[in-house]
Structure 1
Amino acid sequence: MTRPDEPSIPLATRVNRLFEWGHRRGAPEQSNEEVALALGRRLRHPIAADVVGSIRDGSLADPSVDVLDAVADHFEVSRVYLSGNDYGYVDTQVRLCIMARDAGVKSLSMRSLTEPDQSGGALPRQAMEELIGLLARLGGPSGATGEVTD
């Protein structure tokens, strides 16, 4: 759940986090070309790599929902992360997974953190934020805090 007091996270930042998340530790990020090909297969029509690049750099401010849904599906996250306004909880999960991978965590079970409780999920989300901080101190790459810098 995105809280009213939270700053919004630009779409380009969220998409770039998915690129950061969508690879194994030590492997390179997927390229715009690779993702465009995958999106084209999902949507059954070609998507140009420069469209993906434009979403990532923010110059395409309002991409179609079908493209955003295809990006979310490609990176295996909830579609609300890119095409909704209630993306805060998913963003926290994505940042946690990035930090866990980069810190060398071999396995992470998030069963108890998969859905916020009905009252807004403050405790599970707070627990994830605390884990992100711990993982950053354990040896994630310097500067990889997952914080919004835009």
Structure 2
Amino acid sequence: MAETEPTPTSLSRRIDGLFRLARRPDGLPFSNEEVATACREATGVSFSTTYLWQLRTGRRNNPTKRHLEALADHFEVPVSYFFDDEHGAKIAAEIELLGALRDAGVRSVALRAVGLSSEALGTVSDLIDVIAVREAAARRARGAGEDRPAAEDRPAAEPFDDRV
């Protein structure tokens, strides 16, 4: 009889969500090993990479209070993130926003938008939506079997060199 995958629990989704949303200072995602090591070193609590993986995938769903506190400390969220649906959703949205603001281009747009009226911010939002739709359509067209990349994705032509 084949073993079935466990159904992710609310807790496992939240723990995994921290890994998806939070980033290291260099912008890369944290690995299970990095987080388990950091939690062990910060708290002295036994915390293996395998155990963390099990929590993320729902294979284990009853961590100790100390494990959750260690994870909360590492990801800089309150422990209530793991238990309170409303509070957890707010924290996840804040983490996602902070991640987006790490991108220099997003940060530049956000800083330039400070002080704009709500009407002007609505216009900026509408423009972003239109551009996102156009870019998604262009990606789909390129992925739908076009043999050549779009002009903006092709490398510039090399100058002709008649030396042999």
CA deviation after TM superposition for structure 1 residue 24, in Å: 5.0
1:71 partner amino acid: L
- Distance in 2, matches of 1:64 and 1:93, equals 26
- Distance in 1, matches of 2:18 and 2:50, equals 17
1:38 partner amino acid: A
1:75 partner amino acid: F
Other-structure match for 1:79 = 79
Other-structure match for 1:34 = 34
Report the CA distance shift for 1:103/1:52 in structure 2 as closer, same or farther (over 3 A). Answer: farther
After TM superposition, the structure 1 = structure 2 runs for residues 78-97 of structure 1, keeping only pairs within 5 Å, are 78-85=78-85, 86-97=87-98
CA distances 1:64-117 after superposition (whole Å, capped 9, x unpaired): 1211111111011122102445423223222333444468423779xxxxxxxx
- Distance in 2, matches of 1:70 and 1:89, equals 20
CA distances 1:105-142 after superposition (whole Å, capped 9, x unpaired): 23779xxxxxxxxxxxxxxxxxxxxx8xx79x769xx8
Secondary structure of the corresponding residue to residue 97 of structure 1: helix
Q: CA RMSD in A?
A: 3.4
CA distances 1:13-37 after superposition (whole Å, capped 9, x unpaired): 2112211222158743111111111
Other-structure match for 2:17 = 17
Checking the alignment, whether the CA contact within 8 Å between 2:45 and 2:66 is kept in structure 1 is no
- Structure 1 unmatched runs, 5+: 1-8, 110-130, 143-150
Secondary structure of the corresponding residue to residue 89 of structure 1: helix
The structure having more radius of gyration, on CA atoms, is: 2
CA deviation after TM superposition for structure 1 residue 44, in Å: 1.0
- Distance in 2, matches of 1:92 and 1:39, equals 24
Between 1 and 2, higher relative CO (CA 8 Å, sep ≥ 6) is seen in 1
TM-score (norm 1): 0.56
1:58 partner amino acid: G
TM-score (norm 2): 0.52
Report the CA distance shift for 1:78/1:45 in structure 2 as closer, same or farther (over 3 A). Answer: closer
Other-structure match for 1:53 = 53
2:89 partner amino acid: G
- Distance in 2, matches of 1:23 and 1:81, equals 17
Hey, which of these two has a bigger chunk of helix by percent?
Answer: 2
Checking the alignment, whether the CA contact within 8 Å between 2:24 and 2:30 is kept in structure 1 is no
- Distance in 2, matches of 1:31 and 1:24, equals 10
Other-structure match for 2:70 = 70
- Distance in 2, matches of 1:138 and 1:76, equals 31
Secondary structure of the corresponding residue to residue 45 of structure 1: coil
How many residue pairs match? The answer is 108
